[in-house]
């Protein structure tokens, strides 16, 4: 496998590197059209659904055909240098289109817009509009401004904005799973990370609006929601009507109670914040999926300190023990960074050993990419040579392959309740679904006109690779 490609993985594997375009149901309703591509984490994809809603209300329909667009939007990511390069390359591809299409506007949204602000307009002459993650409500006004030939920028960050009253337009979705943002921003200051600078201070969304959105999704036939935040365990909202404090555990329970038929997932948990209360809540509700994404970043306490992660190796291992104790069936995955500043071979071995200890089912693995303005960029030297970073990353990737295979082999002979998402990617004679642990399980259709999408099926695992389980329907 190509290490660079792995190093550039985004948060949600299913959507990795994929650009998606929300598409209005009836494009003929609108006289103007926008085309949007999203990069980066699930939160950016969720934001694009909010943007689609704002633009629909301003008279723009979505199109999947870039040639038809009056407005091209790139919802961008700054997490690693490679993510920014991908967007810049994409922009140059739009150059010719812009030259031959009078009036075509190009807008940069998201984290890169926030990081580079008006500087982007100087660097990228093609760009007409620059809008940061907290300023999407101003998009219609900025588009009007840009239509008069001015460059339009709004990168103000907010302490309050959660877009709670905007119903996201779920267009390119499979109709079964949806993302629901529960908070924005991040108050942690992991030294390697650009997110606190691009997304601003942490704020939690009104719990009622979250429950309203989830209820609406259930009514529309959705079967799974993923509650999204950079650090979901620090969700905190005060219900002034009832004088009740809504923590993440409380919210999770409220969402689980919306419908027993609805699967509930969440991402991401910071190891320092996930509480026993959350684990007990997960144990109490069958429909809260037994899967926790618990980014470790490094297995070395010294490196974790430099990263400002606020936990030690031992503390993290104790958290894994606690999850295994309270939720024996729970899947665990991680994010891992290879080659952070000053990382020695010994530190790297600590990362490999914590991976073995935790027995991750899956990981997102990256090599360190220095981001301007972060604490690490200001305080430490990015001193690990690229070849060493890549070699260490490859060792991490190889080990994860073994761990994933071992984890899947443990499932042979077991029966899982699977939510069917659609055809298997490899063959439309097979169904593809996920287990509660978020593993992909493929099983044969009984006939080509069988309708199982969006239903739960019990499947017994008979075979596996390191990425996929295969099985047969159990009677
Ligand atoms: N809020 C989440 C992570 C969001 S970013 C959390 O705290 O877990 C997703 C992942 O990208 C991080 O977990 C980290 O592994 C990786 N990442 C972030 N900044 C990076 C950088 N500068 N270089 C390489 N990987 C980075
Ligand atoms: Fe970045 Fe750390 Fe916040 Fe995650 S918790 S978004 S890694 S600063
Ligand atoms: Fe990227 Fe911004 Fe998400 S930097 S990972 S799109 S929060």
Q: Dihedral (C-alpha) 217, 223, 229, 231: value to the nearest 10 degrees?
A: 140
**Residue 154 DSSP SS3:** strand
Which one of 40, 190, 200, 233 would you pick to mutate in the ligand 2 pocket, going by the greatest count of ligand atoms within 8 A of its CB? 190
CATH class of the domain comprising 177-409: alpha beta
Atom of ligand 1 nearest to the CA of 374: 22
* Residue of the CA atom closest to atom 7 of ligand 3: 195
pLDDT of residue 6: 28
Nearest CA to ligand 1 atom 18: 193
Whole-number average pLDDT of the chain? 93
Each residue's pLDDT tens digit, 76-104: 999 999 999 999 999 999 988 999 999 99
* 27-154, CATH topology level: Rossmann fold (3.40.50)
Residue nearest to ligand 1 atom 15, measured at CA: 335
Percent of the chain at pLDDT exceeding 90: 91
Residue 187 has pLDDT above 80, yes or no: yes
Q: Counting beta carbons within 10 angstroms of the beta carbon of residue 175, is it exposed (0 to 12), middle (13 to 18) or buried (19 or more)?
A: middle
Give 79 Cα–ligand 3 centroid separation in angstroms.
6
For ligand 2, atom 4, the nearest C-alpha belongs to: 230
Confirm whether 27-154 and 415-473 share one CATH topology: no
Confidence band of 173 (pLDDT split at 50, 70, 90): confident
The string of pLDDT tens digits covering residues 322-349 is 999 999 999 999 999 999 999 999 999 9
Which pLDDT does position 8 carry in this prediction?
33
Q: Taking each helix axis from N to C terminus, what angle separates 345-358 and 313-326, rounded to the nearest 10 degrees? A: 10
Atom number in ligand 1 closest to CA 269: 8
- The 10s digit of each residue's pLDDT in 246-305 is 999 999 999 999 999 999 999 999 999 999 999 999 999 999 999 999 999 999 999 999
Strands 456-464 and 468-473: antiparallel
Whether residue 5 is predicted with pLDDT greater than 80 in this model: the reply is no
Boundaries of every domain in the chain: 27-154, 177-409, 415-473
Question: What would be the CATH architecture of the domain defined by 415-473?
Answer: Beta Barrel (2.40)
Asked whether the whole model's pTM tops 0.85, one would answer yes
CA distances (Å), origin 139, targets 36, 155, 467: 13, 11, 41
How many CB atoms are closer than 10 A to CB 380?
17
Q: What is d(CA 176, CA 221) in angstroms, rounded to the nearest whole number? A: 7
Residue ranges at the known binding site for [4Fe-4S] cluster: 41, 77, 111, 186, 190, 193
């Amino acid at each position: 496998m190509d290490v660079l490609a792995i190093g550039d993985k985004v948060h949600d594997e299913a959507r990795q590197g994929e650009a998606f375009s929300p598409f209005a149901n009836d494009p003929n309703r609108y006289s103007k059209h926008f085309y949007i591509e999203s990069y980066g984490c699930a939160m950016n994809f969720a934001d694009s659904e909010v943007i689609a809603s704002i633009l629909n209300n301003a008279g723009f329909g979505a199109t999947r055909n870039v040639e038809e667009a009056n407005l091209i939007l790139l919802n961008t990511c700054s997490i690693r240098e490679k993510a920014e390069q991908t967007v810049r390359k994409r922009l140059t591809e739009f150059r010719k289109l812009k030259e031959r299409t009078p009036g075509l506007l190009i807008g940069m949204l998201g984290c890169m817009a926030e990081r580079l602000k008006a500087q982007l307009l100087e660097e990228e002459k093609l760009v007409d509009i620059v809008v940061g993650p907290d300023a999407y409500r101003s998009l219609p006004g900025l588009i009007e401004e840009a239509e008069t030939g001015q460059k339009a920028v709004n990168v103000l960050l907010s302490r309050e904005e959660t877009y709670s009253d905007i119903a996201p337009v779920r267009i390119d979705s499979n109709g079964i799973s949806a993302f629901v943002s529960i908070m924005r921003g991040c108050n942690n200051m992991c030294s390697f990370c650009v997110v606190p600078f691009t997304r601003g201070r942490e704020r939690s969304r009104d719990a009622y609006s979250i429950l309203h959105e989830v209820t609406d999704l259930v009514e529309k036939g959705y079967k799974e929601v993923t509650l999204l935040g950079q650090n979901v365990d620090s969700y905190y909202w005060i219900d002034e009507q009832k004088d009740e404090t809504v923590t993440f555990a409380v919210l999770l329970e409220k969402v689980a109670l919306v419908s027993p038929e609805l699967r509930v997932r969440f991402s991401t948990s910071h190891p320092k914040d996930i509480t026993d209360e959350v684990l007990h809540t997960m144990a109490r509700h069958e429909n809260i999926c037994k899967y926790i994404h618990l980014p470790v970043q490094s297995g070395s306490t010294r490196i974790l300190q430099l990263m400002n992660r606020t936990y030690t190796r031992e503390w993290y291992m104790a958290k894994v023990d606690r999850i295994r104790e309270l939720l024996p069936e729970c899947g665990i995955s991680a994010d891992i960074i290879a080659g952070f500043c000053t990382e020695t071979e010994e530190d790297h071995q600590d990362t490999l050993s914590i991976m073995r200890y935790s027995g991750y089912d899956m990981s997102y693995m990256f090599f360190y990419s220095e981001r301007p303005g972060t604490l690490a960029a200001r305080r430490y030297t990015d001193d690990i040579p690229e070849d060493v970073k890549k070699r260490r990353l490859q060792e991490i990737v190889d080990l994860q392959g073994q761990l994933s295979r071992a984890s899947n082999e443990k499932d042979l002979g077991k029966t899982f309740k699977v939510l069917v998402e659609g055809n298997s990617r490899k063959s439309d004679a097979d169904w593809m679904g996920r287990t509660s642990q978020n593993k992909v399980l493929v099983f044969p259709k009984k006939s080509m006109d069988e309708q199982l999408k969006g239903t739960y099926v019990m499947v017994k695992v008979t075979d596996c690779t390191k990425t996929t389980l295969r099985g047969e329907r159990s009677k």
